[in-house]
Structure 1
């Protein structure tokens, strides 16, 4: 971590993607750069996708008596994927604001570990 011109400490940015399952970080001094802009765009897309999945899932759940196992599994998978994305955005923004969750320790599961339809 390093201090900016005002003397406040800047944390590296957790990016909304991984490399070989490991988190990717962007230097705190890179704010406003190309990668930072790309991360902003991806985070905005993930948030829009989350809203859309929630909207569509609510519509499907209104017809819950007609849903089969496959439909329930698909709804659960999409909601899980969206939740993982939104939690990553939240974690990244929280870190940059200096807000951390003390309940998340080394034993917390990675939010990128989302089941697939084959599992």
Structure 2
């Protein structure tokens, strides 16, 4: 998926940059040629937040990792609860509607996490970065990749 640009600046380790869309690859790259990370939250106006950092273990990156893990865990919980609601023939219409609304919210979060991780993996491939470690792009221990 193409990443729309957002002039969202996040500071980490004293280094931050704006993302620019490149026509060649379809991936956003910063002025140093790195693919910024799509963060698991948006601006107040709904635009994507991007992080450009040379420190994948910085504060904002760790905060994003924790939020992604929480979103994936919540999605798993909502999926389990929804299966119970849909499996109960006596569930009320309100319960089914609520479950559907929560599923939509969680699906949006999971898709954003997947897009972010896919862009980071593609960025590693584009740059030929063989120094990627297990900590660069990981699935939370209790959730799906």
Residue 33 of structure 1 corresponds to which residue in structure 2?
Answer: 58
Instruction: Give the conservation status (yes or no) of the 8 Å contact 1:15–1:26.
Output: yes
List structure 1 segments (4+ residues) > 4 angstroms apart after TM superposition.
none
Instruction: Give the conservation status (yes or no) of the 8 Å contact 2:39–2:51.
Output: yes
Q: Do residues 46 (structure 1) and 71 (structure 2) align?
A: yes
Deviation sequence 1:55-98 (CA, Å, 0-9, x none): 111111110x2122211110100111110110000000000011
Q: Do residues 59 (structure 1) and 84 (structure 2) align?
A: yes
**Which of 94, 105, 111 in structure 2 is aligned with 1:81?**
105
**Which of 32, 37, 40 in structure 2 is aligned with 1:13?**
37
Structure-2-length-normalised TM-score: 0.60
Structure-1-length-normalised TM-score: 0.72
Structure 2 CA distance, aligned partners of 1:58 and 1:37? 32
More helix by proportion, 1 or 2? 1
Length, aligned pairs only: 94
Structure 2 CA distance, aligned partners of 1:59 and 1:72? 10
Q: Which has the higher contact order (CA 8 A, sep 6+)?
A: 1
User: Secondary structure of 1:89's match?
Assistant: helix
Instruction: Give the conservation status (yes or no) of the 8 Å contact 2:41–2:48.
Output: yes
